[in-house]
Structure 1
Amino acid sequence: MTGAVGRIQAAFTDAGVTGRLHALDIDSGAEIDAGGNRPVVTASVHKLCLLVALHERAAAGQLDLTEQVECPADGRTAGPTGLAAMLDPVRISVRDLAHLMMSVSDNAAADLLLDRVGIDAVNATTDRLGLAATRMSHTFGGLFATVKEDAGPLGARALTDPHVLTRLRALDPAHSNRSTPRDLTGLLRAIWRDEACPPPHGAAIRRLLGLQVWPHRLASGFPFDDVHVAGKTGSLPTVRSEAGVVEYPDGGRYAVAVFTRAANPAATLPQADAAIGTAARIAVDALRARG
């Protein structure tokens, strides 16, 4: 396992990033730990915690997943995908909001769901599951509002300045939505073992994670037709991450959480995205060799 950790760290270095990883065999409990206990900012990966809280409350009869929600044209949380990028009013069910939140990381859909569930309820769910390092303190719109405020009058142009990046609260786990890679693999294990929610709701969560459209991070390390990858990405300036589960045709199931921070502030860094898949593949191969 020590050799695998060294190769993982080398993959991060080669890509020009620092990284944290935890990988877990869902059935045996075997693990690979490369900084897995270090706090990280979760960005959109925290939508997974919201999804579990949503289904926990649906299972308890506290909300109806088929309820219709009005999303007006004005006032919705901004973003590049889904409702966040649309211009007209929309009427949509709670469960379809969850689909948009997970498949294309729709910020507006996520915050509409937070209106129904509440940040305190998300934290209650992660507390119940023993995820002591996982905490939500901002809506997704609120998180990005701190980036705008901290960047100052130059706005997005300032985010290439290393001095500006050091003052972004969104990049500091003490002032942002946060977790650890180990907490997130524990959450994924609970989802895949139907310990986070009753089985029908666990199946619905797993389905939505499998519908994510982004293939450039975790899934890039597993380019095989018979290997299934389900996950949730997260991004902030210099931060790229993903937490998900890799399933093999022989029944092997592996939860992996990878969080990276790039020295280069460029918004597009294919090598940094690919490092997430490379590191995950090294970890999963090591777990499979051990099994």
Structure 2
Amino acid sequence: MNGLDAGRAGLRGERRNVDATARIEAAFRDAGVTGRLHAADIDTGREVGVRGGEPMVLASVFKVPLLVAFYRSAAAGLLDPTEPVTLRPGERSMGPTGVSAMLDEVRMSLRDLACLMITVSDNAAADALLDRVGIEEVNATSARLGLPGLRVETNGRDLHAGLLADSGAGSLGELWGRLDEPGMLGRLSALDPARTSRGTPAEMTRLLGLIWRDEAAPGGECAAMRRLFGLQVWPHRLSSGFPYDDVLVSGKTGTLLTIRNEVGVVEYPDGGRYAVAVSTRSLLPIAVLPQADAVIGTAARIAVESLRRRPSGS
């Protein structure tokens, strides 16, 4: 390809990206959300984004950098992944899934806590693992991997307590009932990326790329992480955009009041691998909003399809 042909191919690629971003923006508007997205070809580096460099509230996506720090610490011999932990009723973090929802004392290994943290987004498991690894180590790990803007600021216990303190509500149920009060959303530090755990969609896709290329940790540990992402049980967000038996979607969701996130990797049978991070904020203070969930898959599919169109002349 000569210089002129390369220039034309580049312009065509730019036009495809512009078309994809316009379609993604339209999908966000139709779903009644504002959104951020970044998608990248893990092997070529080609990318497409919609405000992908702007910080997003991580919510439960903070469990991804925590998982990386855990497995790196295990590989370095700083902790034993089979170390048993006892989680007692009344002492563990609240949540609707996993150990958080159980009534009796539970004893399991650190690596099994990591499994519940990723596959069903268990808050109690995540906080127990974070207590063992340490927030400082999680953030230091992200910095070592070239992602200093990816920051975990709090655990699930303190996040929940902060929501109640900021709102003056006595429970999350009461808070949901008062979300439409004037100024309420602005008072909640947990919804402000400047005051809570944060990172950009582009940073999240870079981290996923490191995991999938065996660069975030030794190969065995990266394989263990990929296995857990592949076992996530939620099909209603990222996976909904790729309803094909031969396409593998691995991911991690994050939900906090009006914020709905998912980051993950989409793998095609031809070997194509695409890291995607989507963060949305609903304009309506409603807990069940199917269109806000589904648009994550729609936007991801548009982005990945754009990346899969090979540049003309290549």
Instruction: Tell me, in whole angstroms, the C-alpha distance in 2 between the residues paired with 1:11 and 1:100.
Output: 32
SS in 1 for 2:183: helix
Indicate the structure (1 or 2) with the bigger Cα radius of gyration.
2
1:212 is aligned with what amino acid? Q
**1:19/1:162 CA distance change after superposition, 3 Å:** farther
Over the residues paired in the alignment, what is the CA RMSD in angstroms? 1.0
Query: Match of 2:32?
Result: 16
Aligned match of 1:233 in 243, 248, 253?
253
| 1:73–1:89 CA contact under 8 A, matched in 2 | yes
SS in 2 for 1:256: strand
Aligned match of 1:205 in 205, 225, 230?
225
Query: Match of 1:191?
Result: 211
SS in 2 for 1:284: helix
SS in 2 for 1:5: helix
Answering whether residue 68 of structure 2 is matched by residue 52 of structure 1, we say yes
> Cα deviation per residue 1:203-262 (whole Å; 9 max; x = unaligned)?
000000111000000000000011000000001111001000000000000000000001
| 1:152–1:158 CA contact under 8 A, matched in 2 | no
Aligned match of 2:106 in 90, 96, 118?
90
Aligned match of 1:180 in 200, 208, 213?
200
1:53-202 correspondence runs (5 A): 53-153=69-169, 155-156=174-175, 157-161=177-181, 163-202=183-222
| 1:47–1:102 CA contact under 8 A, matched in 2 | yes
SS in 1 for 2:39: strand
Q: Post-superposition shift, 1:201? A: 0.1
1:90 is aligned with what amino acid? V
1:58 is aligned with what amino acid? A
| 1:21–1:259 CA contact under 8 A, matched in 2 | yes
Query: Match of 2:234?
Result: 214
Query: Match of 1:277?
Result: 297
Q: Post-superposition shift, 1:158? A: 1.9
**1:162/1:284 CA distance change after superposition, 3 Å:** farther
2:290 is aligned with what amino acid? P
Q: Post-superposition shift, 1:33? A: 1.3
| 2:139–2:148 CA contact under 8 A, matched in 1 | no
1:285 is aligned with what amino acid? E
- Range moving further from structure 2, 166-175 or 154-163: 154-163
> Cα deviation per residue 1:32-56 (whole Å; 9 max; x = unaligned)?
0110000111000010000000000
**1:204/1:162 CA distance change after superposition, 3 Å:** farther
2:257 is aligned with what amino acid? P
Q: Post-superposition shift, 1:162? A: 5.0
SS in 2 for 1:290: coil
Instruction: Tell me, in whole angstroms, the C-alpha distance in 2 between the residues paired with 1:153 and 1:236.
Output: 16
Q: Percent identity of the aligned residues?
A: 61
| 1:239–1:259 CA contact under 8 A, matched in 2 | yes
Answering whether residue 283 of structure 2 is matched by residue 263 of structure 1, we say yes
Instruction: Tell me, in whole angstroms, the C-alpha distance in 1 between the residues paired with 2:161 and 2:82.
Output: 30
Unaligned runs of 5+ in 1: none
TM-score by length of 2: 0.91
Instruction: Tell me, in whole angstroms, the C-alpha distance in 2 between the residues paired with 1:9 and 1:177.
Output: 25
1:237-256 correspondence runs (5 A): 237-256=257-276
Instruction: Tell me, in whole angstroms, the C-alpha distance in 2 between the residues paired with 1:32 and 1:137.
Output: 28
Instruction: Tell me, in whole angstroms, the C-alpha distance in 2 between the residues paired with 1:5 and 1:206.
Output: 28
SS in 2 for 1:142: helix
Q: Post-superposition shift, 1:142? A: 1.0
Instruction: Tell me, in whole angstroms, the C-alpha distance in 2 between the residues paired with 1:145 and 1:200.
Output: 37
Instruction: Tell me, in whole angstroms, the C-alpha distance in 2 between the residues paired with 1:117 and 1:132.
Output: 18
What is the count of residue pairs matched by the alignment?
291
SS in 2 for 1:202: helix
Unaligned runs of 5+ in 2: 1-16
